[in-house]
């Protein structure tokens, strides 16, 4: 099968489109004919060696898939069923024609979505879902989502809005109308915003890290919750009275079913900036690393 793999950590040039033996499903795993694979920042972080396991090279790439079930397990999806899902971290294996993942990590592909759109969903949407859950986001609460136009951000703002929260989101000026279209109550230009002057938030989702995480503490009301995604909580900036924790996404087929229902009902829009062929994985990584993607990048097989 065609697969994108890498045999040392490094820049995009280490990615190789090559021929590899098909993976063999272990207990509890399904084998999926991959039609599309989503691209996430963790993909190039893995390629650069910032996310590592201890398996030997060559290593597979990517965590998001949409495709058709070829082999299954009792109680799993039917052979021939269209599914989408997320592989468990830290080993990728989505940028390839066949992939294995736990049956519990897949859900039926939302009928409204193409395979490419479906592959854009799992990791980013599960992250947003699990982050809002960890924060206790609920109706009436004030939620701030940083980088609201990004992969995680555009799902987070829609899930929060769906819960009935009051949603503020940051983005660059070119993305403010996009945020309005997603139902964000207060889209804020990250270059000029003075968030410190805003009414305090109950929840802040930090999708950026560094100074954005440091500034987040003082934007929260006492008892509020800060959820960080790119980095652990920097204890040096902790303020009393605020709960803070990092969420690391985990596969969850049950949550993907609920997310799929929201998508199929029209309540959640999936934004795909571009779909590239598998052979252009390096270009996709470069674009993702530059940091300006609206929604998601996807590789089509």
Q: What letters, b where the CB count within 10 A reaches 16 and e where it falls short, cover 137-176?
A: beeebbbbbbbbbbbbbbbbbbbbbbbebbbbbbbeeebb
Distance CA 242, CA 172 (A): 27
The residue among 82 and 259 lying less far from ligand NAP, judged by its C-beta, is 259
Q: Does 294 bind ligand NAP (CB under 6 A)?
A: yes
Q: At what angle do helices 253-264 and 151-163 cross, to 10 degrees?
A: 70
Q: Does 284 bind ligand NAP (CB under 6 A)?
A: no
Q: Mind giving me the DSSP string for 159-178?
A: HHHHHT-EEEEEE-GGGHHH
Q: Does 50 bind ligand NAP (CB under 6 A)?
A: no
Q: How far is the CB of 8 from ligand NAP (least distance, A)?
A: 21
Range in contact with ligand NAP (rule: CB under 6 A) among 40-48, 59-67, 99-107, 133-141: 40-48
Q: Does 103 bind ligand NAP (CB under 6 A)?
A: no
| Cβ(118)–Cβ(110) below 8 Å | yes
| Sequence-separated (6 or more) residues with CB below 8 Å from residue 117 | 270, 272, 298
Considering only residues 190, 216, 253, 287, which one is a binding residue for ligand NAP as defined by CB under 6 A? 190
Count of beta carbons in the 10 Å neighbourhood of residue 85: 32
Applying CB under 6 A, the site for ligand NAP has a residue count of 29
Per CB under 6 A, which of residues 159..178 are in contact with ligand NAP? 171-172, 175
Q: How far is the CB of 68 from ligand NAP (least distance, A)?
A: 26
Q: How far is the CB of 247 from ligand NAP (least distance, A)?
A: 6
Strand intervals (E) in 87-131? 98-102, 106-108
Q: How far is the CB of 266 from ligand NAP (least distance, A)?
A: 23
Q: How far is the CB of 18 from ligand NAP (least distance, A)?
A: 26
- Beta bridge partners of residue 169, listed in sequence order: 145, 187
The residue among 71 and 183 lying less far from ligand NAP, judged by its C-beta, is 183
CA 245 to mean position of chain CA atoms: 18
Q: Which residue is nearest to ligand NAP (CB)?
A: 150
Q: How far is CA 144 from CA 14, 30, 111, 226, 287, in A?
A: 37, 38, 31, 10, 26
DSSP state letter for 111:
T
Q: How far is the CB of 44 from ligand NAP (least distance, A)?
A: 9
| Sequence-separated (6 or more) residues with CB below 8 Å from residue 191 | 172, 173
Interface mask (CB under 6 A) for ligand NAP, residues 109-148, using x and -? ---------------x--x------------------xx-
Per CB under 6 A, which of residues 219..258 are in contact with ligand NAP? 229-230, 247-249
Q: Does 292 bind ligand NAP (CB under 6 A)?
A: yes
The residue among 72 and 175 lying less far from ligand NAP, judged by its C-beta, is 175
- Sites of contact with ligand NAP (CB under 6 A): 40-42, 124, 127, 146-147, 149-153, 171-172, 175, 190, 207-208, 212, 229-230, 247-249, 288, 291-294
């Amino acid at each position: 099968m065609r697969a994108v793999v890498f045999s040392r950590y490094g820049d995009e040039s280490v990615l190789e489109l090559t021929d590899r033996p098909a993976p063999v499903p272990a207990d509890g795993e399904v084998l999926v004919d991959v039609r599309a694979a989503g691209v996430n920042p963790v993909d190039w972080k893995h390629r650069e060696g910032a996310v590592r396991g201890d398996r030997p090279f060559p290593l597979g790439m990517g965590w998001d898939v949409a495709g058709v079930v070829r082999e299954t397990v009792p109680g799993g999806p039917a052979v021939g069923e269209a599914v989408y899902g997320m592989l468990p971290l830290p080993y990728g294996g989505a940028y390839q024609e066949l992939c294995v993942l736990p049956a519990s990590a897949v859900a039926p592909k939302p009928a409204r979505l193409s395979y490419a759109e479906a592959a854009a969903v799992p990791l980013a949407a599960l992250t947003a879902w699990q982050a809002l859950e960890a924060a206790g986001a609920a109706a009436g609460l004030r939620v701030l989502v940083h980088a609201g136009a990004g992969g995680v951000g555009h799902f987070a703002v829609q899930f929060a809005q769906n819960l009935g929260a009051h949603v503020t989101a940051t983005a660059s000026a070119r993305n403010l109308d996009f945020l309005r279209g997603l139902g964000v109550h207060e889209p804020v230009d990250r270059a000029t915003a003075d968030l410190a002057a805003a009414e305090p938030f109950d929840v802040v989702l930090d999708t950026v890290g560094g100074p954005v995480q440091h500034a987040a503490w003082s934007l929260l009301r006492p008892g509020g919750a800060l959820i960080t995604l790119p980095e652990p909580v920097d204890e040096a900036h902790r303020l009393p009275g605020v709960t803070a924790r990092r969420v690391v996404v985990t596969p969850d087929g049950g949550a993907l079913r609920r997310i799929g229902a929201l998508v199929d009902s029209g309540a959640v829009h999936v934004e795909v900036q571009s779909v590239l062929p598998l052979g252009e994985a390096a270009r996709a990584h470069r674009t993702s690393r530059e940091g300006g993607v609206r929604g998601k990048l996807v590789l089509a097989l």
